[in-house]
Structure formats: structure tokens, C-alpha cells
Amino acid sequence: MIENQSDNINKKENDASNQENSPEDFLPSENQTVENDESSSQQTESIDTEELKNTISNNDARLEQLEKEHETLKNQYVRISADFDNFRKRQSRDQDDLKIQLVSKTLTSILPMVDNFERARQQLKPESEEAQALHRSYQGLYKQLVEVLKQQGVAPMRVVGEQFDPNLHEAVLREPSEEFKEDLIVEELQRGYHLEGKVLRHALVKVSMGPGKDNSQEEVEKDTVEVDTDLEENTSEDV
């Protein structure tokens, strides 16, 4: 039994010695693990670097695409804004034109009344006190009518002595005139009117043809006689 105890003690000593020697046996494997960890970390860093480069490249491409889309949207906005501004101006012009057309139509129907007032004013020659009172009343009404037309932007044309313009005037008669040159307006037959700078009604006018044919023929004959006289005088001197 004593031998068995000694054997057990020896076995325990051997196990303890084996345990003490075991760290040295495992040193090479630990070094190899460290090397493997370093290699894997390097590979991981390399992979992370590649991924970062790819991410940066993708971001640059995406940024360039977004800049192009931004420029396209900006150009579209500028075009839409310009189109809307043109549309707004066109609508405003159309509304102004429509307003002028409506006002023109109304005022054109009133102008014959103004013409009648003008004719009556020229024909009236009040002599009695009663006629003068009537004439004053008439003048008051006429002034009110003219003032209303002015407030609406209506202005009469002044045409006598002016150059004939088919855009403003309508020639009813043409006659010779010693006072006015050719194509000058001699007389106003019906007054024309402007509305906000546009023609509301053309003026009916009489246009000069210049000096008459009789006077021109007399001047030609006079010049011919003077030339013949000069020729006769020169001929007599030569003889």
C-alpha cells in the first residue's frame, strides 16, 4: 500500500511538471495567431480602403449627376418663368386692347352727337335775350360733353395745314390751292379723334393739289415768250 501511495505521488509530480512545461509548448502557436491577426487586420484595412475609394467615387458621380439635374431644373424654371412673364404681359395687353375696343365702340356711337353740337354751334347766332340764354345753356351742355370725352382719353385732331396721312385722315376731296402746297390739308370736313394715342375716328378732309393748271400753264407760256424774245434779240445783234 505504501508503494501505491508513492506511485500516486510520482504521478502527481509528473502531471505538475507537465502542466508547468505546457506554456512553453504553446508559445509557437500563439505567435502564429498574432501573425494571422496582423495579416487579417492588414487585409481588412486594405478592403476598407478600397470600399472608401469606391464610396468616394460613387459620391462624386452622384454629385455630378445631381449638379446636372440641378442645372436642368434651373433652366426649366427660367424658361417657365419667362413664359409666364410673357403670358402675363400678353394678358395685360389683351385686356387693355379689349377695354379700348369696348370704350371705342361706345364713344364712336356718341361722336355723331358731338358733330351735331358742333354744327348747331356754328349756325346759332343769338340776337334776342332769350336766344342768348338758350345759347348759353347749349354751350354749357356742349362743354360738359367735351369734358366727359376728355376724361375718357378722347382728344380731337387738328388737321388744317398738316401733311395728309392716310393713317389719320380720309381724303374726300382734292382741289387746287394757291395757299397750300400739294398734299396739305385745306379743310376739315369732319373732325377726327384720338383715344389714348390711337385713332378713334379718321378725319374727313379736303386735300390740296397745289397750284392750279391754269396758273402753271400761264407760267410756262410766259417762260416760252421770254426765251423767244431773247433769241430774237441775239439774232438781230448777230446780223
Alpha-carbon distance values, 235 to 117, 172, 223, 225, 227 (Å): 70, 53, 19, 15, 12
Q: pLDDT at position 124, please?
A: 73
Residue 179: DSSP 8-state: S
Q: What is the pLDDT of residues 126-143, one digit of tens each?
A: 777 777 787 788 888 888
Provide, rounded to the nearest whole percent, the portion of the chain with pLDDT above 70.
69
Look at 69 and 16; give whichever has higher pLDDT.
Answer: 69
Contact 209, 182 (CB under 8 A): yes
Q: pLDDT at position 14, please?
A: 53
- Across the chain, mean pLDDT equals 75
Report the predicted TM-score, pTM, of the whole model to 2 decimal places: 0.52
Give which of 131, 220, 208 is closest to 164, Cα–Cα.
208
For domain 101-208, which architecture applies? Roll (2.30)
- Counting Cβ atoms within 10 Å, is residue 90 exposed (0-12), middle (13-18) or buried (19+)? exposed
Look at 159 and 36; give whichever has higher pLDDT.
Answer: 159
Q: What is the pLDDT of residues 158-174, one digit of tens each?
A: 899 899 999 999 999 99
